[in-house]
Amino acid sequence: MNILTTLVEKTQEAITQLYGLSDTNISFEQTNSKFDGDLTFVVFPYLKHSKKRPEDTAKEIGDYIFNKMKAIKSFNVVKGFLNIEFSDDYWLNVLQSRIDHGIQIPEIGVNKKIVVEYSSPNTNKPLHLGHIRNNVLGFSICQIFDAVGYDVVKNNLVNDRGIHICKSMVAYEKWGNNETPQSAGLKGDHLIGKYYVMFDQYYQKEVKDLISKGVDKDEAKEKSSLMMETRNMLQKWENGDQEVFTLWTKLNNWVYEGFESTYNRLGVNFDKIYYESNTYLLGKEIVQEGLDSGIFFKKEDGSIWIDLTPEGLDEKIVQRSDGTSVYITQDIGTADLKYQEFKMDKFVYVVGNEQDYHFKVLQLILKRLGKSYADGLYHLSYGMVDLPEGKMKSREGTVVDADELMDKVVATAKKQTEELGKTDGMSSKELDELYEVLGLGALKYYLLKVDAKKRMMYDPKESIDFQGNTAPFIQYTYTRIASLLRAADKVNFSLPITFHSIEKELIKQLNAYPEVITSAANNYNPSEVANAIYDLAKTFNKFYHELTILGELDSNTRSFRISLSKTVGETIKHGFGLLGIQVPERM
C-alpha cells in the first residue's frame, strides 16, 4: 500500500477515535522547507470537534499516527500544522523499490478510451509558431494519457475547404504560371502560403481603390472582383466542378506533403486524420432531428437556431437560411462520427482559447440532444504565443514559420554548444544529431513548461540557454549522468546506509514523480511534468556538486550514489519522453 494512502487512513482513524468524526476529507501537503518534515497535515478544520488549541490537537493526532506507523521517524507541531518526517530506512526502501520495479504509474485510465484532436491546420498556409504550441501540447497530453493507462487515439481534423482555401486557389490560378514546389524550390505548404499572402495584398489594394472612388468600406469588401471570384470558386467546388476540383486536389496534395515533413521533424503523429471536405456536411441530419424534436427552432428566413438563454448564453445558429452548415454543425457531426467509430469515454479538443465559447456551446447542444458522450467533451484551451515584436498575422505574412523557427533554434543550439566547448570528440554526424535534439528540445520545452491556459511570450534565445529552466540544462544534466554511469564500476548497494539530506530530497522527488504524471493527466497540463523534471535536474546538480560520487572512498556509499544517479537519469528520460523530447547520451 502507498505510504500516503496508509498515512491518510491512520489520520482518519485518529480523528475518528479522538473526536468521533468520520468520513472527512484528509489531505497532506509538502512541508514548508523552513521546517523539518516531509508531509504536513493542517488541523484547523478539526478544532471545533477537538475543542482544544491547534497545538494540542496536532500533537494528539501526531502521537496517534506515530504509534501506528513504523515508517514515521518523528513529528513536530508548528501552531496548527502537523509536520510528519519519515525514517531514513523508509526512504532507502523507496529507492530500492524504485530500482527493482521501475516507475510505477497509477493506471487511472485503464479500460477507458480517449480521442485527442490537435493540429487542425488550414491548407492555405504552412504551420507557424502557434501551430507548434498546439502540436507539442496535443502530442504531449496524449503521451501522458497513455502513461496512465488510457487507450489513446491521436486525431487531426484538416481544414481543407472553404472560402480561405479558395483565396489561395484564385491567386494561384491568376498568377501561378504553373509553378510547382520543385520549380519554386519551396515546400508545398510554403508555396501555397505565398499565394494566400499574395491574394490578400491584391485584395486590400482593390478595396482601397474602391473606397477612394466613394464606395463604402463594407460594400467595397463585398464588391471586390477577387472576392467575387473566390465566392464563385467555392460555389463551383461545392457543385463538384471538375476543373476546380482538380486544382484543389493538386494544391492540397502539395500542402499535405509539406505538413508531413514538418510533423516528422517536430516528432508528432496521428492515428486518425479527418478532412473537412469529407465532414463539412455532417451534422445536418442531426440538426433536422433536433428540429423535429423541438430542440432547435426555425426562424422566418428559414435558418435554424437553438436557444441557450436558460444556460446563460444566447441563441446560436446551427444552419443558415440557404441550408448550408456553420462550424458548429460540422462539429456536432464529427463528434457523433468519432463516437460511432471509437466509443470513447472522453474526447479532447486542443484549440486556442479564442474558441472557449464555441466549445461551451458545442457541449451544451450535445447535452440538449441527449448524446451520452456529451459529458466526455473537454476543451483543452491554451493561450496564444506572442513574440517580442508583437502578434502574428497569417494574411500579412508576418507569422513565425514553423520550419524556419526549427532551423533557427537548431542553429542557435549549434552556436551555443560550440561556444561552451561541449563538442569534443564527436563526429560531424553526431554533432548534427545533437544540435537537432537540443534545438527542438529547447523549443518544445519552452512551450510546454508554461501552463497551457496562459498566454506566453516566446524568446528563441532564452529557450536555448544552458542555464535555468530550459531543455538544454536538463539534457546536459542527463548527459552528465550518462557519462558518470559509463565510468561507474558498480551500481548495487546494500541497506542500511546513512545518507545526506540532498540525497533524501532526490529520493522524495523520485517518489513523487508518478503522482505528478497522474496530476498532469487529471489537469490536462504537461507543464506539471516539465517543471517536476526541471526541479529534479536542479536538485541532482546540487547533489553532483556538493557530494563525491565516483571518488567516494566507501564502496557502498559510492554504489548508492551511482544507483541514485542512474534512477534520476531514467526519470529525466521518461519525463522528457512524455513531453516528446529526446535526450542525448553525449554532449
CA distances to 299, 300, 372, 515 from 292, in Å: 14, 16, 19, 48
Does 92 reside within a domain?
no
**Is 175 part of any domain?**
yes
pLDDT in tens, 107-159: 999 999 999 999 999 999 999 999 999 999 999 999 999 999 999 999 999 99
Residue 209, in any domain of the structure: yes
Amino acid 394: pLDDT = 44
Bond into 106 cis (ω within 30): no
Task: Tell me: do 58 and 186 sit in the same domain.
Answer: no
Confirm if 453 and 432 have CB atoms less than 8 A apart.
no
Domain boundary among 274, 304, 338: 274
Q: What is the dihedral sign for C-alpha 452, 458, 464, 468?
A: negative
Q: Which of 27, 14, 20, 3 is nearest to 61 (CA)?
A: 14
The values of phi and psi at residue 31, to 5°, are: -70, 135
- Whether residue 82 sits in one domain with residue 166: no
Bridge pairing between strands 151-158 and 272-275: parallel
pTM reported for the whole predicted model: 0.92
User: pLDDT tens-digit profile of 224-233?
Assistant: 999 999 999 9
Catalogue the E-assigned strands of 33-71.
39-42
410, 542: one domain = yes
Q: Copy the grid coordinates of residue 543.
A: 547533489
Strand positions, DSSP E, 292-444: 297-298, 304-307, 315-319, 346-352, 377-382, 385-386
DSSP class of residue 31 equals P
Task: Tell me the CA distances in angstroms from 362 to 306, 331, 344, 348, 380, one per residue in order.
Answer: 11, 7, 17, 13, 14
Are 166 and 81 members of one domain?
A: no
Residues 203 and 63 grouped into a single domain = no
**Pair 446, 452: CB distance under 8 Å:** no
* CATH number (domain holding residue 440): 1.10.730.10
Do 448 and 567 lie in one domain? The reply is: yes
Q: How many CB atoms lie within 10 A of CB 371?
A: 18
In the listed set 55, 86, 117, which residue is the last one of a domain according to the structure?
Answer: 86
Q: What DSSP element (H or E) covers 550? A: none
Q: Are residues 172 and 79 in the same domain?
A: no
For residue 391, being part of any structural domain is answered with no
**Which residues, other chains included, contact 312 with Cβ-Cβ below 8 Å and sequence gap of 6+?**
none
Q: What's the confidence (pLDDT) of residue 398? A: 55
Residues 537 and 572 sit within 8 Å (Cβ to Cβ): yes
Tell whether 492 is covered by a domain.
Answer: yes
- Residue 205 domain-assigned? yes
> Are 410 and 386 in contact, with CB atoms under 8 Å apart?
no
Is 74 found in the same domain as 208?
no
267: CB partners within 8 A, 6+ apart = 139, 440, 580, 582
Stretches in the chain below the pLDDT threshold 70: 1, 389-398, 422, 490, 496
Of the residues 274, 307, 325, which one is the last residue of a structural domain?
274
Question: What string of H, E and C letters represents the secondary structure of 479-497?
Answer: HHHHHHHHHCCCCCCCCCC
Q: Which of 32, 113, 112 is nearest to 76 (CA)?
A: 32
Give residue 35's domain range.
3-86
- Which residue carries 522524495 as its cell? 508
In-domain check, residue 365:
no
Q: Evaluate whether 413 touches 438 at the Cβ level (below 8 Å).
A: yes
Domain total in the chain: 3
Both 409 and 558 in a single domain? yes
Question: In this structure, are residues 75 and 85 in contact, taking their beta carbons and an 8 Å threshold?
Answer: yes
Examine the domain organization and report whether 68 and 200 are in the same domain: no
Which of 273, 225, 7, 295 lies closest to 120 in space, CA to CA?
273
Residue 182 burial by CB count (10 A; 0-12/13-18/19+): exposed, middle or buried?
Answer: exposed
Residues 416 and 510 in one domain: yes
Label residue 183 exposed, middle or buried (CB < 10 Å: 0-12, 13-18, 19+). exposed
Eight-class DSSP state of 351: E
- Domain annotation covers residue 552: yes
Residues 424, 563 within the same domain? yes
Query: What's the CATH number where 76 sits?
Result: 3.30.1360.70
Q: What is the DSSP letter of 153?
A: E
CB contact at 8 A, 158 and 276 = yes
How many whole angstroms separate alpha carbon 528 and alpha carbon 518?
A: 10
